[in-house]
Structure 1
Amino acid sequence: MAEIVIRNLRKEFGDFTAVQSSSFTIEDGEFFMLLGPSGCGKTTTLRMIAGLELPTSGDILIDGEEVSQKPATERDIAFVFQMFALYPHMNVRRNISYPLVSQGLPRAQVKAKVAEVARILGIEDILEKPVGGLSGGDRQRVALGRAIVREPKAFMMDEPLGALDAEFREHMAEELRALHDRMGATTVYVTHDQLEAMQMGDKIVVMNHGVIEQFGTPQDIYDKPATMFVADFIGSPAMNFLDARGTVAPGADHVMLGDVRAAIPEMREGASGEIVFGVRPEHVRLSDAAPYRGEVRAAEYLGTTQIVTVDTPAGEIKARIGSDQPARRGDKVGLEFNGRTVTLFSRETGKALRSAMNEDVFHG
């Protein structure tokens, strides 16, 4: 397997810039997620790493070799697509063995490798079946088997679970991550599903309009969002955003939400302009004694928890609370925020001024 280094990668299609000066490193053996909404540049980035698109500028290094202008056939990369891309006239065994047969490997070696891959994926019992009659999950396993059998330097996966139904997709995500852990393969995985990215990834790049908004571990991206876009895109429900009043001075430990003081992480540097107070729903508490008040507009029951939507003078707030707490439409409630869990943003730039969890300062 291999380390993949991306330096100032850019891709233009005529007047349209799909990817703008992206730089990041994918460690050897890492499960790496490219995450973002449709049209953000994640698939274009993946295709450039794989050699299916050549970059306008920038460098791609795979296992220390500069490959940015080399075709896919010279990169030793295996690709798994969303729509499986299997050969319908071949059975499972022939689909998996096709890359090895194309390379001219001896028949005995091909048979042994196919048997090993089938055992890893748990598909020994369907090797002689035609692929047309298989379930979506089994066809995806066959597509994975055809990629694995080559033992490439890295795997590129473009929303490989997107065609499966929701329940089975979650199961296959667990299987795919377990398979990755057994093989120790360098994997680059594209998805628009933030839950999938958080569940499977070692590291995540969040992209928007061709720009990397943030790069880090799932926990860092969730706890310390670098931009309002990331805070809104990651999490379900998304982070609450409230307009704060006034200038935040160096050393400040609160902002004003209307006429009420709300605690924040202590500011090492001051901030002016329009300040946005961000807090995740699970860090909002309902309390009769809290001075910041609102009216319950809706309560969504989710079993052990519920999502309560509260209208306040500074905007709508969603709180994730226990389902045993009373919260009915029309109730007047108080809201509490733990300052350690708050992130402040600049409305002008959309960037975080002070992170949640009381540690990092982000500069625009």
Structure 2
Amino acid sequence: MAEIVIENLRKEFGDFTAVQSSSFRIEDGEFFMLLGPSGCGKTTTLRMIAGLELPSSGQIYIDGEEVARKPASERDIAFVFQMFALYPHMNVRRNMSYPLVCQGMPRARVRAKVAEVAAILGIEDILDKPVGGLSGGDRQRVALGRAIVREPKAFMMDEPLGALDAEFREHMAEELRALHDRMGATTVYVTHDQLEAMQMGDKIVVMNHGVIEQFGTPQDIYDKPATRFVADFIGSPPMNFLSFQGAIAPGDQAVRMQGVDLGVPRAQAGFQGEMLFGIRPEHVRFDDGGAWRGRVLASEYLGTTQIVTLDSAAGPIKLRAPSDQRVAPGETVGLNFDARTVTLFDGSSGRALVSELNAGVLDHG
């Protein structure tokens, strides 16, 4: 398999810049997610890595070799598409065999490879069936099988589960991750589904408007978002944002909002102006003695938990609480926060100012 290194990758379509100077490293054997909303540049990035699009500038290294100007056929990459892209006039066995036949592999070896991969994917019983009559899940397994038999350096997957219904998509995501763990293959996977990315990925790049907003592990991205966009895009419900004008000095561990001091991680640099106090719903708790107050607007029952929506002096707050904790609409309650779970954002740029992971003011340049 292969390490993939991206340096200052850029793609322009006329006056439109789809990807802006992206740089990141995909480790050998890693399951790497490109995550973001439609039009953010994630699929264009994937297509440039695979050789289906030429970059306007920048470098792409696969297994140490610079390949940015090489055609896809010379990169030893296998691509899996959302809509399967199977040959309808061929049965499952011939679809899976096709790339090996094109390579001139001996027939006996082709049969053995197809049988081996079919056993891994659990599709031995459909090898001789036409692909047209298969379910969406089976067709996706066939598409995966056709990619796997080649034993490429890396797999590129463009929302391969997007055409499946929600319940089966979750099941296939588990299967795909388990398959990756068995094979140890380098995989680059595009999705707009943050739950899919968090469930499957070793590392995640979050993109927006062609820019990398954050790169890291699922836990880092969830717990310590680098920008307001990431905090809002990741999480269901997303992070709460309470807006206020204030100041924080080096060494401060609290900010004053609406006359109340609220704890934050220790600041390493100062800032003054509009700020956002960011806190995830599961890190807000009811506290009768809490100085911060909120008025209950509604609650959403989710089985073992509930999402309570409150109105506060600095804006709306969502709180995740046990479902047996009773609150009534219109009731005013005290709230508290764990300072270690707070992120402060610059209200203008949206960049993180202070968090436990990044305790300081980020470069605004």
The TM tier, using the shorter chain, reads over 0.9
Measure the CA separation in 2 of the matches of 1:53 and 1:202: 25
Structure 2 equivalent of residue 125 of structure 1: 125
**Does the aligned pair in 1 maintain the 2:353–2:359 contact within 8 Å?**
no
Structure 2 equivalent of residue 114 of structure 1: 114
**Does the aligned pair in 2 maintain the 1:240–1:317 contact within 8 Å?**
yes
Q: 1:358 to 1:86 in 2, by over 3 A?
A: closer
Structure 2 equivalent of residue 7 of structure 1: 7
Which shows bigger deviation, 7-16 or 332-341?
332-341
Aligned alpha-carbon RMSD (Å): 1.1
Is 1:242 aligned with 2:242? yes
Which consecutive unaligned segments of at least 5 residues does structure 1 have?
none
Measure the CA separation in 2 of the matches of 1:140 and 1:299: 39
Q: Please list the CA deviations of residues 206-227 of structure 1 after superposition, one character each: whole Å capped at 9, or x if unmatched.
A: 0000000000111111111111
Structure 2 equivalent of residue 77 of structure 1: 77
The alignment partner of 1:171 has SS state of helix
**Does the aligned pair in 2 maintain the 1:61–1:67 contact within 8 Å?**
yes
The alignment partner of 1:112 has SS state of helix
Normalising by structure 2, report the TM-score: 0.98
Structure 2 equivalent of residue 268 of structure 1: 268
Measure the CA separation in 1 of the matches of 2:356 and 2:299: 26
**Does the aligned pair in 1 maintain the 2:251–2:266 contact within 8 Å?**
yes
The residue correspondences of 1:19-168 to structure 2 (distance < 5 A) are: 19-168=19-168
Which shows bigger deviation, 351-360 or 335-344?
351-360
The alignment partner of 1:147 has SS state of helix
1:167 deviates by: 0.6
- The amino acid across from 2:119 in the alignment is R
Measure the CA separation in 1 of the matches of 2:63 and 2:246: 51
**Does the aligned pair in 1 maintain the 2:267–2:359 contact within 8 Å?**
no
The residue correspondences of 1:331-346 to structure 2 (distance < 5 A) are: 331-346=331-346
Measure the CA separation in 1 of the matches of 2:244 and 2:265: 14
Measure the CA separation in 2 of the matches of 1:242 and 1:356: 18
**Does the aligned pair in 2 maintain the 1:245–1:258 contact within 8 Å?**
no
Q: 1:221 to 1:189 in 2, by over 3 A?
A: same
Identical counterparts, % of pairs: 78
**Does the aligned pair in 1 maintain the 2:264–2:355 contact within 8 Å?**
no
Which shows bigger deviation, 256-265 or 73-82?
256-265
The alignment partner of 2:247 has SS state of coil
1:44 deviates by: 0.1
1:327 deviates by: 1.9
The alignment partner of 1:53 has SS state of coil
- The amino acid across from 1:92 in the alignment is V
Aligned length: 364
1:361 deviates by: 5.8
Structure 2 equivalent of residue 189 of structure 1: 189
Structure 2 equivalent of residue 317 of structure 1: 317
1:359 deviates by: 5.4
Measure the CA separation in 2 of the matches of 1:155 and 1:179: 12
1:116 deviates by: 0.3
The alignment partner of 2:272 has SS state of coil
Measure the CA separation in 2 of the matches of 1:336 and 1:74: 57
- The amino acid across from 1:113 in the alignment is K
Measure the CA separation in 2 of the matches of 1:340 and 1:358: 12
The alignment partner of 1:273 has SS state of strand
**Does the aligned pair in 1 maintain the 2:271–2:361 contact within 8 Å?**
no
Which consecutive unaligned segments of at least 5 residues does structure 2 have?
none
The residue correspondences of 1:151-300 to structure 2 (distance < 5 A) are: 151-300=151-300
1:38 deviates by: 0.4
1:59 deviates by: 0.3
Measure the CA separation in 2 of the matches of 1:180 and 1:194: 19
1:357 deviates by: 5.8
Measure the CA separation in 1 of the matches of 2:101 and 2:358: 57
Normalising by structure 1, report the TM-score: 0.98
The alignment partner of 2:61 has SS state of strand
Q: Please list the CA deviations of residues 182-220 of structure 1 after superposition, one character each: whole Å capped at 9, or x if unmatched.
A: 000000000000110000000000000000000011111
Measure the CA separation in 2 of the matches of 1:348 and 1:255: 18
Q: Please list the CA deviations of residues 90-139 of structure 1 after superposition, one character each: whole Å capped at 9, or x if unmatched.
A: 11101111101111111100000000000000100111111111111110
- The amino acid across from 2:69 in the alignment is Q
Measure the CA separation in 1 of the matches of 2:240 and 2:79: 38
